[in-house]
Structure 1
């Protein structure tokens, strides 16, 4: 038997087909555009997601030759926080406002002022950020009242695909946690938040646990895609929770680090815990428990910037491998050179859109290798900021599992191990959130009794890097300097950001 995992990403939908033993027998990605109609705005057409998904499913079934009756379940993952609004006839009323859209600062301020930080944290476990869904709803009410009065249903990106597959309005607890309308502790919509913001309760989709069956593939979709009518579709999860399932980060003591364009430090926990200062997100996990998560906005993006925009400006042709080879020759600490990785501002722990990237400590002895290594170290220090908060909450950190494009570098994994002071592992599963979604479908079909059992059987550590004690000691000293630099430069960052 086989299971389908669908991840509705920002740049593309990724669809994979796995066997019940976890072997991936086929995958496909279908891209679609992002629109930026005004500075700071970020939108997509939900129909683009659906067209890519239905075409991708059909092509994948044809490519693999699997019989549709052998595909027993579908799991969904996707970009979080996006706002999809439907009218009474299920027509999409406007482009989806995405997670990285920045238009809603006034609405965030209004939410914080209306409820107060204490009530907001009590009701949702989080603070109001421009990425979340609730401020987007208020923005539509204020700026597009013509659309607002037509709203009958609100969905998150992956849940629009669920609706098209099953004709059901549903979501899961992990994705709902990122709306700022969800009672994360009690795993249900927050009547306090909906009432305080005057958002109708009946607009919100029914909320399920990630492995629960939420609906069944309808006949019209079966005809379009090649799926079998009646195939189950489970709750699934937001991309970070699904990605954590895909790396086996479902037990206390295991922390995952997604070293992609942005950086995410994710810790699974058995009990609901909230950071008193709301530097971390507290969300429901896809395994029926909870997780905390810290996000830095520029992680592997810093290295990409260094390679593409700085070292390959003009006619240069310098590869990642060449730069990393130079960095490997440099000792830990980069000769006193420190890089602050705030190229797009920062979220955890500073939540500061004005923060800027910079090199600190340059002198005449430094060369390009020092600068490359300082970037690797600076990103790792930024991720350690989240790790330290996790430790403050008494959440154990026994093992770190790293994924994403940056994890391909052995040097970067070693730097992470040295700066974190713990073992850093790679696992055999490399398909990310789509794999986690497929695992959830297998659990929903009762191949496994729960997510933990599925992960223990399907996901294995494939490579480990251990901290080098000498480097670990050096980095502990450098980190003390690193974590003070933001506060030293905070006011200067804001001043500099105003220069055109």
Structure 2
């Protein structure tokens, strides 16, 4: 319905968000239409980490870096906007939106009840916290527009830090508030990353990740005509697109399937990386975090396909690490997040592209894009005949 009413197009100039089924506003509209009694009882709308903070402190609030990507927040004014909920048909929840708090703002203290459950000391200050992609960019050391952060997990995310909003861009980039004044996180994302490999390994439980890497490394780079579309959980090529292998023949082994999965995930990341490089034109380095960053085989493939210098910050659990940095800023250990980021001391490993392999992968990547285009045409015809 929202698509037919062009609601996403109306929202974007104000929220700088796309609209998808997992957004808070989508869930709220669903509850309103399907469980009206529950909807009528809503007392407060919070993101997950805001709810956890309320459980710890008894104080309600929505942390800015997270709520700014909810479609409830006007990116231009830096506030909630009743016009947004009116367009979305959920104006009733305006009064249920709690105050917006900063990432490093002390929002309350650990209560006696929370202390008894968690073991934390009563009175410990609790700060706002961070949206996960913001935390990852912070911990990856992203400071300017020459470096992007790729997060490889269930989602394929490519993020950059911008110094302002832009109008009339080539793509509907998702913006969010960043931890430094005047800066925004900009990202492109889809659920098309290493979650696909996790599904595959669940079907063959006898495979270790070392064995997978060895299998992929045993084959010539870009040497197969086998393709994998990493769309098990969603797509960045259209709502109708689904997962699958293409080009499989009797000669292919399990190693070929694994190589195709690695390649398909990288090719899908390239969709977002290429779009982001239209926005961040000075990029020469990609900093990568997430599970696949532990695989030199996969990371070298990413370097070879992209032609970029790949840097691998040796830091684990960037969500928790970033939250700890927010706490240190909030309690005065650091003056601000810039100082906290400058004090990061984790080592960074570097991989450089093999330009001979880059030429081979570019050919295969173009074939992947052609396959996507052909399938989009197929789905368009199916939809047309179904009308």
Distance 2:34 2:284 in 1: 48
Asked whether 1:416 is paired with 2:302, we answer: yes
User: Structure 2: how far apart are the matches of 1:274 and 1:321?
Assistant: 46
CA distance 1:336–1:162, shift in 2 (3 Å): same
Asked if structure 2 preserves the Cα contact closer than 8 Å seen for 1:282 and 1:292, the reply is yes
- Partner residue in 2 for 1:128: 19
Residue 489 of structure 1: CA displacement? 0.7
Shift of 1:306: 2.8
User: Of 194, 203, 218, which aligns to 1:329?
Assistant: 218
* Structure-2 separation of matches of 1:168 and 1:482: 50
**Alignment-derived partner of residue 193 in structure 1:** 84
CA–CA separation in structure 1 for the residues paired with 2:223 and 2:373: 22
Identify the match of residue 283 of structure 1 among 176, 200, 224: 176
TM-score (norm 1): 0.70
Structure 1: 5+ residue runs without aligned partners? 1-108
Query: Which residue pairs with 1:54 in the alignment?
Result: none
2:46 maps to which residue? 155
CA distance in structure 1 between the aligned counterparts of 2:377 and 2:11, rounded to whole angstroms? 28
RMSD: 2.4
- Taking a change above 3 Å as real, the CA distance of residues 126 and 384 of structure 1, as seen in their structure-2 partners, is same
Corresponding pairs, count: 379
Aligned ranges for residues 15-94 of structure 1 at < 5 Å?
Answer: none
Please state if 1:253 is matched with 2:139.
Answer: no
- How does 1:302-451 map onto structure 2 within 5 Å? 302-309=196-203, 311-312=204-205, 317-346=206-235, 348=236, 350-352=237-239, 354-363=240-249, 365-451=251-337
CA–CA separation in structure 2 for the residues paired with 1:434 and 1:185? 29
CA–CA distance in structure 2, aligned partners of residues 177 and 221 of structure 1: 28
Secondary structure at the residue paired with 1:472?
helix
| 1:452 partnered with 2:343 | no
Of 177, 202, 222, 2:95 maps to 202
- Structure with greater strand percent: 1
Asked if structure 2 preserves the Cα contact closer than 8 Å seen for 1:334 and 1:374, the reply is no
**Counterpart-to-counterpart distance in 2, 1:415 and 1:385:** 15
Contact 2:171-2:275 at 8 Å conserved across structures: no
Secondary structure in structure 2 of the residue aligned to 1:458: coil
1:91-149 per-residue CA deviation (whole Å, 9 max, x = no partner) reads xxxxxxxxxxxxxxxxxx33x44564432111211222101011211222222221222
Is residue 210–residue 287 contact of structure 1 (8 Å, CA) maintained in 2?
no
Q: Does 1:215 align with 2:108?
A: yes
1:240 pairs, out of 113, 133, 141, with 133
TM-score normalised to structure 2 length: 0.89
Give the conservation status (yes or no) of the 8 Å contact 1:242–1:286.
no
Counterpart check, 1:140 vs 2:140? no
Find the partner of 2:356 among 455, 470, 476: 470
Unmatched segments (≥5 aa) in structure 2? none
Specify whether residues 466 and 434 from structure 1 end up closer, same or farther in structure 2 by C-alpha distance, changes over 3 A only: same
Question: 1:242 aligns to what SS in structure 2?
Answer: helix
Q: What SS does the corresponding residue of 2:157 show, helix, strand or coil?
A: strand
Distance in 2 separating the partners of 1:224 and 1:182: 33
1:101-120 paired onto structure 2 within 5 Å: 109-110=1-2, 112-114=3-5, 116-120=7-11
